[in-house]
Amino acid sequence: MVAYKWTVLSNTTMGGLLASLDGTILLIAMPVVLRGIGVDPFLPGSFPILIWLLLGYGIVTATLLVTVGRLSDMFGRARMYNMGFAIFSTGSVFLFLDPWSGATGAWALVGFRLIQALGASFLFANSAALITDAFPPSERGKAIGINQIAFIGGSLVGLVVGGVLASIPTLHLGPLVLPTWRLIFLVSVPIGVAGTIWAYAKLKEISVRKANQQIDYVGNSLFALGLTLLLVGTTYGLLPYRSSSMGWGDPWVIGAIAGGIGLLLTFLWVETRVPDPMFRLSLFRVRAFAAGNFTSLLGSLARGGMMLLLVLWFQGIWLPLHGYSFAETPFWAGVLMMPMIAGFLVAGPVSGWLSDTRGPKLLATTGLVVAAATFFGLALLPTNFAYWEMGLLLFVQGCGMGMFAAPNAAAVMNSVPAENRGAASGMLATLQNTGQQVSLAIFFTIVIVGLAGGLGSSVHAALGAAKVGSPDTEILGGIVASNPTGALFGAFLGENPMGVLLQGAALVPGWTPLAPAVQAQLLAPHFFASAIAPAFSSALSSAFLFAGIVTSVGAVISALRGERFIYGEHPVRTPRPAQTTVATPSDTIAAAADLQGSRPR
C-alpha cells in the first residue's frame, strides 16, 4: 500500500499536468495554429473558431466534472480515471493527425479538442479523490499539494510550452514534414499514451462505494444543460453583434444565460428531492467544505482571465514597444511568464506539507491576501513597465496561488465521507473551471469596454504624431475605434494589425495614398502598440482592480472557514500557549446531522 500511494500520486500528477497544459497551450500558440492550418484570423468568420479553440475545452470540462465525479463514486474512480486518460490520448492523436485545412480543418480541431476535454474531465474529477483514498489524513496535504502543482502549475507551463513550440520552424524528417502547429498537439501524444498504459496496468479500486445506488438522470441532465447554456452564452457574449463590439445585447445570448441560470436553480430544487442525488447539497453544511469551494470559485474568477490579459499585454503592447517583431512575441511572452511558475513551484508543495500539521486556514488565507496584493500591484504598473517589477509581482503571485491551492483542496477532500469523494472532487474542479471560464468573459468585457471608450482618442493622437493627413486619420482611426476586439486580437494573434487596417482603409472613398516613409512608420511593430497603449492601460487597471477585490473577498471567507476538520474526527485545533484548548462541535454540528457515519475517534 505504501508503494501504491506513490503510484497514484505520480500518475494523477502526470494526468493533471497534461490536462491543464492542454487547456492553455493555445493561448500563446494560437497564431501558429491558425496560420498553419490556413485560416485568416482577421476574417469575421474566423472569430467563432478562435473563441471555441480557446474556450471550448474549458466549457466541456466544467460541464461534466460533477457528473463524472458522481459516476466515479458509483462505478469506481480508478476505472473512470483510466477511461479518461484513454479518451484524452485519443483526442490528442486526432488533433495531431487532423487531415483537413482551412475552416474545415479548424472546426475539426475544435471537435477534437472537445474529445480531449471529455477525457480531461475524467482526470480532473478523480485525481484528488484517488489521492485522498490512497493517502492517510496526515499526508494528504503534502500529496494534494504536489498534485495541485500539476493542475494549476500545468496551466502556467502550457503558456511557456506553447510559446517555445510556436518558435520552432517546420521540421523535415526525411520525407516526413511536421508543420509547427502539429508539434503543438504532438507534445501530448506520447506522454498521454504512456500514461494511459501505466494507469490501466497499475491503478486499482480501493474506494468505498455504496451498493444499490441509482443514476440521477434528471439532475445530471439539468446540470449539464444549464451549465452548458450559461457558459456558451457568456462565450458568445464576446462576439460582435450588429454595430456593437460585443454580443451582450444579443437576444440569443441573453436567453442562453437566463435559461442556464433557470435550469441550474431547478437542478438545486431537484437534488433535494431525489433519493440518490447527483450531488449531496448537504455537504455544503460542512463549513470546511463550503468555504473551500467558495474560495476556490472566487480565486478562479480572479485568476482565470489574468493569464489572457498578461498574454495580451506582453504580445500586443510590451514586447512590440521593446523592438520585438509580432512573429517573435509568442515565444517571449511564454518566457516572460516563467516567474509565476517558479513562485507556484516554490510555495505549493511547502504549503501542502505544512497544512498537514498546522491546518489549512492560515496558509490558504495568507495565500489569498498575497495574491490580492499582487493584483493591486499589477493595476498600478504602467503599460511600458520595467520588467523586474513585473517579474517580481508574477513571482509573488505564483507564491500566493501556491500557498492557497494545496491547503484548500486538502481541506475540502478531508471534510467529506469516503463514498462522496468523487463528487466532492468533481464539485471543487467544476467551480474552479467554471470560475476560469466566467473570468475570461468578465476580464475580456472589461478590457473591450475600456478600449471602446478610449481607443478613438489615443489612435487619433498617434496618427497625428505620425503626420498622417486629416482625411486619412479620420478613416483609419474610425476603423480601429469601431472594432476594438479586432484590434486587440490582431496583436494577440502575432500579426501586425496595421497592415490589415491599411488595406481596409485603402478601399474607403476619400483615402489618400500615404507617403512611403509614413507608411513604414505605421507598419513598425511599436506603432500599433504605442497607439493603443493609453486605452489598454486604463482597461487593464480596471480588470486587475476587479481581480484584487474578488480575491480579497475570498480571503475573508477563508478566514471564516473554522478550524481544521477531518470527517469522522474531532476538529483539530492548534494548542495555545499556557492554556488548554477545548474542542467544541460548533463547526461540525450541521455536518453531523446530515452526514451518516460521522463519529469522533
Task: Give per-residue pLDDT as tens, 312-368.
Answer: 899 888 998 998 887 788 788 888 988 998 898 889 888 988 888 888 999 999 999
Q: Could you report the per-residue pLDDT of 220-265, keeping only the tens digit for each?
A: 899 999 999 998 999 888 777 887 878 899 999 999 999 999 999 9
Can you read off the three cell numbers belonging to residue 302? 480572479
Q: Could you report the per-residue pLDDT of 166-186, keeping only the tens digit for each?
A: 888 787 777 777 888 998 999
Q: Yes or no: say if 383 and 540 are a contact pair by the CB < 8 Å rule.
A: yes
| Amino acid 130: pLDDT | 93
Break the chain into its structural domains and give their ranges.
Answer: 2-215+276-450+536-559
Q: Is the pLDDT of residue 596 over 60?
A: no
Cα 514 from Cα 502, distance rounded (Å): 10
| Amino acid 599: pLDDT | 36
Fold of 2-215+276-450+536-559: Growth Hormone; Chain: A; (1.20.1250)
First to last CA, the chain: 23
Cα 369 from Cα 352, distance rounded (Å): 17
| Amino acid 82: pLDDT | 96
Q: Could you report the per-residue pLDDT of 552-568, keeping only the tens digit for each?
A: 999 999 999 877 677 76
As a whole number, the mean pLDDT across the chain is 85
Looking only at Cα atoms, what is the longest distance across the chain? 85
Query: Model pTM?
Result: 0.83
| Amino acid 376: pLDDT | 97
Q: How many other C-beta atoms lie within 10 A of the C-beta of residue 362?
A: 17
C-alpha dist (Å) from residue 587 to 241, 358, 416, 506, 592: 50, 17, 14, 69, 10
| Amino acid 498: pLDDT | 85
| Amino acid 488: pLDDT | 67
Between 194 and 421, the higher pLDDT residue: 194
Between 330 and 592, the higher pLDDT residue: 330
Residue type, 567: Y
Q: How many other C-beta atoms lie within 10 A of the C-beta of residue 75?
A: 15
Q: Yes or no: say if 508 and 482 are a contact pair by the CB < 8 Å rule.
A: no
What does the CA dihedral 549, 551, 553, 557 come to, rounded to 10 degrees? Answer: -170
Q: Which residues contact 294 (CB under 8 A, 6 or more apart)?
A: 431, 554, 557
Cα 342 from Cα 345, distance rounded (Å): 5
Residue labelled with grid coordinates 445530471: 220
Residue type, 123: L
| Mean pLDDT in residue range 21-29 | 85
| Amino acid 492: pLDDT | 64
